[in-house]
Chain A
Amino acid sequence: MITEFWTQMIAVIRIELTKTFFARRSIWIYLLALLPASLFYANSIYARREHERLARVASEHPLRKEVLRSIRPGLTVDQVVQTLGEPYRKNSREFWNGRPPQRHERLTYFYTDGEVEFMFFINDGVVRNLGRGGASQTLPQLLLVFASVYQLYFIRLAIFFGCAGIFTNLIRGEMLDKSLHFYLLAPIPRPVLVAGKYVAGLFATAVIFSASTALQFYALLRGFDSATVHEYMQRDGWNHVAAYMGISMLACAAYGSIFLAAGLVAKNPAIIAALLLLWESVNAFIPGSLKMASVVFYLQSLCPIEAPPDVTIPPALLALVAPVERVGTFTGIAVMASLSLVALVGSGLLSRKLEINYSAD
């Protein structure tokens, strides 16, 4: 009997995988998954060009970082030029200010040590502000950006909506297509059918989103020289990649099981998805143990890099990024696995009462 169930489940998985991977309706899920990777890739192209440009400038106007850092607000333009020499580029702008209006001049002097671009903003011949530009991102900084993007966008939106799209369609989508009855006309126990559909959905989403995670890492690292990348990969890199890919899979398992059940119980699972999204979003503001009643809390706890509090994220969004107290890796994985199992078993039981009544759906 077990062999028969297994054969039937594989048949379900094969059918569902074909539908999921190659369906036209899956295109937006691929786009959701690929969006952050493409942004990191674009950033890496920009970063490489900037590195090359600054290195070229530095070879023509060699300056040390310590000398550049010695420039302070209050120095005159002559003192700056005396210390650093003429800038490799400068901007000039006139403006009128005061009563009666008087003419002022604002200069921006650009220097580089080959890695970072320094900008000195000079008003009426005196340095007022200092700035950094160009390819100023270091690998640790970019990893923090990745951590924020991963927790804010990838888990909460890309994986969430990707799983909602795929897993609710496994049952409810076929109800709407009026094609679910073909499954129910075969001698396959409904819990086996549900399990097969879940495994297919999980496989599809896990492949799509964990591949996207790996791709994001590749795109992120592409902007750095091979020595920097090698050093990082030897130290933490592989662990980070494996951890993030694992979290992506776990997120697919957890959200997938919830959305599969939603597709079974609700005529419009989008309402459940919206409520869950709302709960997951406001969860960070909820005090105490209620926080732990969300998927994203455990997923964030498992992330190897905490999203930084000092990145340029609006304060309102910043509260969403980091959980107040993280749970351990084992607890996080165990809770997610248990949640998935409970939701799957519940779906299996619900499926026994499933009826084909397309006109009512």
Chain B
Amino acid sequence: MLLSLFQWCYNTWTGAGIRGSTWLFPFIEAIHLLGLVMIGGTVLLVDLRLTGIVLQRQRVEDLARGARPWLIGSIITMLVTGVLLMESEALRCYYSPAFWMKMIFLGLAIVFTFGIRQRVALGEIPTAPFWTKAVGFVSIILWSGVGIGGRGIAFF
């Protein structure tokens, strides 16, 4: 069932168009990479503050509020470019363990980020210092898993 979904993705006009073009895949991939860097920056900045490693004198809310539009914007950029890249090599992705590892981490990271991490960082949930630190570390680990899995798709 899942395989037929990937087959359908592979045959979409966008997937076929990207496969047939010399420039499109690298160009979309470069934008995908820029999105990754922006997510990396926003996640690290706020999570390092949550863990208490940097900028202890600044309010977490100030950093989280400033980072929010860039976080949401880069996640949307990543999803759009990511879907396009996946369509163009959908069948390879289906058989790639790295792709599935990435998808699991991505699902967990998005649920955790918007379900817990953003609320803690924006001060919507009062949290004890130990749990604030834990939220920061978990967020860094989940997003690192997404990045490492993504890089791995090219090899595994």
Whether chains A and B associate is: no
Q: Which residues of B contact A (CB under 8 A)?
A: none
Q: Which residues of A contact B (CB under 8 A)?
A: none
